[in-house]
Amino acid sequence: MKKYLLLIPVFLLLLTGCGSSGKKTVCTLTKDVDGVKISVEYTLNHDDKYISNVVFDETYEASDKDTADYYENYVKELYEGAKEKYGGYEVDVQRDNLTVKALVKINYEKVDMTKLLADTPELSSFVEENKMLYDKMTSYYNLAGLSCK
């Protein structure tokens, strides 16, 4: 279960760019991992070449309190940490009994790309002129099992 969780921060960190947007692509994935139903919807706003901003809408439906606690703490630490370190994030994590919902909006014009790329140099192939390449990102998402439309 925790190995799958490590993919989510990679998705988050890979979706970085700046510029104006005119198109929208929605990438989704629903998966059961060790009894937890994980549903993600990432809305990418972009032009023909670059992603300008993204909205993450994630839901974790756990079967017990300890697992729900784990996911709540995990997503709070992940997204609040990125907000503090890189800037440009709005983070809202809600808990309703055994369901954790995270809504994260990222304004890429405020994200510190220099820090982000210094911390995760493997992202450099997805970035051109401090902007996230739309085609590379959606190809990566498709390979990771997300459906982008």
Q: Is residue 23 part of a domain?
A: yes
Q: What is the CATH number of the domain that holds 20?
A: 3.30.1830
Predicted pLDDT of residue 7: 47
pLDDT at 15: 46
Q: What is the structure's pLDDT at 83?
A: 96
Question: 102 lies in a domain?
Answer: yes
pLDDT band per the 50, 70, 90 thresholds, residue 6: very low
pLDDT at residue 39 above 50? Answer: yes
The per-residue pLDDT for 1 is 53
Distance CA 57, CA 43 (A): 8
Q: Is residue 148 part of a domain?
A: no
| Parallel/antiparallel/unpaired status of strands 89-96 and 99-107 | antiparallel
Res. 67: pLDDT tops 90: yes
Asked if the structure places residue 144 within a domain, the reply is: no
Domain span at 13: 2-138
Does the residue 105 lie in any domain?
A: yes
pLDDT at 86: 95
Q: Is residue 15 part of a domain?
A: yes
83 vs 110: which has the higher pLDDT: 83
User: Above 80 in pLDDT, residue 104?
Assistant: yes
Q: Give a yes or no: residue 145 inside a domain.
A: no
- In this prediction, residue 74 carries a pLDDT of 96
Q: Give the predicted TM-score (pTM) of the model.
A: 0.81
Q: Which residue has the higher pLDDT, 7 or 25?
A: 25
Tell me the two tokens of residue 85: 């370190």
d(CA 64, CA 149): 33
Instruction: With respect to residue 109, please indicate whether it lies within any of the assigned structural domains.
Output: yes
In this predicted structure, the answer to whether residue 62 has a pLDDT above a threshold of 90 is yes
Rounded to whole angstroms, the Cα distance separating 4 from 60 reads 13
Could you give the number of structural domains in the chain? Answer: 1
Pairing of strands 36-46, 127-128: unpaired
